[in-house]
Structure 1
Amino acid sequence: MDWDDWNAALFDLDGVLTPTTDLHRRAWGEMFTAFGERHGLAEPYTEDDYYAHVDGKPRFDGVRAFLASRGVRLAEGGVDDGPEAQTVHGLGNAKQELFNDLLTSGGMDPYPGTLDLLDDLAARGVARAVVSSSRNATAVLAAAGLSDRFAFVVDGNVAAERGLPGKPDPATFLAAATQLDIPVARCVVLEDALAGVAAGRAGGFGLVIGVDRGAGADALRGAGADITVSDLTQLLEDRR
């Protein structure tokens, strides 16, 4: 991996830079398990559902995808629905409340290797941005001490404000490349989610790196990753 060949690195956040995926998995699991018990779903939520229906997608899209997998139809509701509301937005907000509690109580440290890679890219003059479906990106970056490491963040809030579709559509990655004023062919996408990898491939980016935090290297390559790694340190030239 010779980073001198590239001008920009577009990082997903959860599962690439920080282990927030663990918190998201727990929050989704608690929310959907409670929902399933309340409604008597014959097929309960499992970890496989996270990767199949939720991982990398905007929050409410994840709710819709899981419900569709179980043949459940709920009213959409509205973004201000309380976590007790049995609507798509209510379930999404219940998950968000659980995630916030976990983040507040446990804090957040970046993955080992994150700071080393970001230092290396900064020294090389490679531009860096975060492209995340999460609406929590700013809070997570602050909790992990990474806020000053990126030129900007395109997150779920920015996508909503600009009317950008979420991953696997490439719109948010394309918006980041445009804001950096760097051609997509000179940008590297780093993603751990199948939806995010598919977005990088659909956007025509020069290199799509799948970071295997549980989705599986074969699945990441199948979604469009050019290469896969299990840790960001593998992307350092001296492999330290």
Structure 2
Amino acid sequence: MRTDQCVLGGDIAAIIFGVDGVVLDTARAAAAAWKSVLDPFLRSHATGREAGFRPFEVRADYLRYFHGRPRSGGVREFLASRGPAPPAEIVLDLVERQERLFLTEIRRHGIAPFASTVDLIRAARRHRLRTAAISVDRYASELLTSAGVADMFDVRLDGLDAPGTGLPGHLEPCLLIEAALRMRTPPARTAVIEQSPDGVAAGRHGGFGFVVGVDRVGRGAALRAYGADVVIEDLTQVTLLRTPALIGRH
């Protein structure tokens, strides 16, 4: 895949990091939890319809339907690919069960941050750049704490912040804008680093100064199509400049 080198400098005074896939390596535990939830459902569905049982493929199905996407939308599309679209209450039940299994696994075994992301956050703090971590998942702050990186951010926003505040339940520009406001940094002087096309699009439509797409699974074309200024495989490809400079693609 083709990826870029990324240089952040010039007027950039803050960086917003997505939690899933940028700060924390959540994919393996999330995919395993989906398999534990979906395989019994698929087996029961196949028995009732006298159809063959096709198990959830941890890599292929997770990447296609769930990676970097809202859980409910992923479940609906995945199950629709196997048969009739399920009722909303079934989707909600599966999402809640997956979330419980995922959190149980994390609380039992912990979760690791990406070392390159930790290095970049530390470099940002040395450069006096403000930092924020954002997620629409209501347990994201707990995950950051479990990984030992919560205190590295000036601002943390997750799904627990949304009720009563007008913040959305899914990733939209206003969530990123709220993070920038809490850092007291205009969006135009703030960079966004996200792994999902929706996150990249939110950064682009929110008027942020620079949008970086992180492609660990071969979706660089989609990230570019949704508005990423650059696409990288890992945050080792990000360079912070001490002196004002143009931000560009190489």
Give the TM-score, by structure 2 length: 0.80
1:10 to 13, 16, 19: 16
How much is the aligned-residue C-alpha RMSD, in angstroms? 2.5
Q: What's the counterpart of residue 28 of structure 1?
A: 34
The 1:55/1:174 distance shift into structure 2, 3 A limit, reads: farther
Alignment of 1:1-240 (within 5 A): 1-40=7-46, 45-46=56-57, 47-70=59-82, 72-77=84-89, 87-237=90-240
Q: Name the stretch that deviates more: 38-47 or 164-173.
A: 38-47
| Corresponding residue SS for 2:24 | coil
Over the matched positions of the two proteins, sequence identity in percent amounts to 37
Counterpart of 1:59, as a letter, is R
Give, in angstroms, the shift of residue 200 of structure 1: 1.5
Give, in angstroms, the shift of residue 55 of structure 1: 3.0
CA contact (8 A) 2:141 2:157 kept: no
| Corresponding residue SS for 2:115 | coil
Q: Name the stretch that deviates more: 115-124 or 35-44.
A: 35-44
Give, in angstroms, the shift of residue 52 of structure 1: 4.2
Give me the whole-angstrom Cα distance separating, in 1, the residues matched to 2:60 and 2:112.
25
The 1:187/1:71 distance shift into structure 2, 3 A limit, reads: farther
Unpaired runs of 5+ residues, structure 1, are 78-86
CA contact (8 A) 1:192 1:212 kept: yes
The 1:2/1:168 distance shift into structure 2, 3 A limit, reads: closer
Work out the number of aligned pairs and report it.
Answer: 229
What CA deviation, in whole Å up to 9, does each residue of 1:131-181 have, x standing for no partner?
Answer: 112222111111111111112211122234434334453221122122223
Unpaired runs of 5+ residues, structure 2, are 1-6, 242-250
Give me the whole-angstrom Cα distance separating, in 2, the residues matched to 1:30 and 1:178.
40
Q: Name the stretch that deviates more: 98-107 or 63-72.
A: 63-72
Give me the whole-angstrom Cα distance separating, in 2, the residues matched to 1:152 and 1:142.
13
Higher relative contact order (CA 8 A, sep 6+): 2
Give, in angstroms, the shift of residue 69 of structure 1: 5.0
What CA deviation, in whole Å up to 9, does each residue of 1:99-137 have, x standing for no partner?
Answer: 012212321221121221111111111111111122221
Q: What's the counterpart of residue 84 of structure 1?
A: none
Give, in angstroms, the shift of residue 190 of structure 1: 0.5
Give, in angstroms, the shift of residue 25 of structure 1: 2.2
Q: Name the stretch that deviates more: 65-74 or 130-139.
A: 65-74
CA contact (8 A) 1:55 1:195 kept: no
CA contact (8 A) 2:12 2:190 kept: yes
What CA deviation, in whole Å up to 9, does each residue of 1:171-213 have, x standing for no partner?
Answer: 2112212222322111111011122112222222111101112
Give the TM-score, by structure 1 length: 0.83
Give me the whole-angstrom Cα distance separating, in 2, the residues matched to 1:96 and 1:23.
10
CA contact (8 A) 1:194 1:215 kept: no
| Corresponding residue SS for 2:211 | strand
Give, in angstroms, the shift of residue 73 of structure 1: 4.1
What CA deviation, in whole Å up to 9, does each residue of 1:3-49 have, x standing for no partner?
Answer: 35311111101110111122112222332233222212777644444
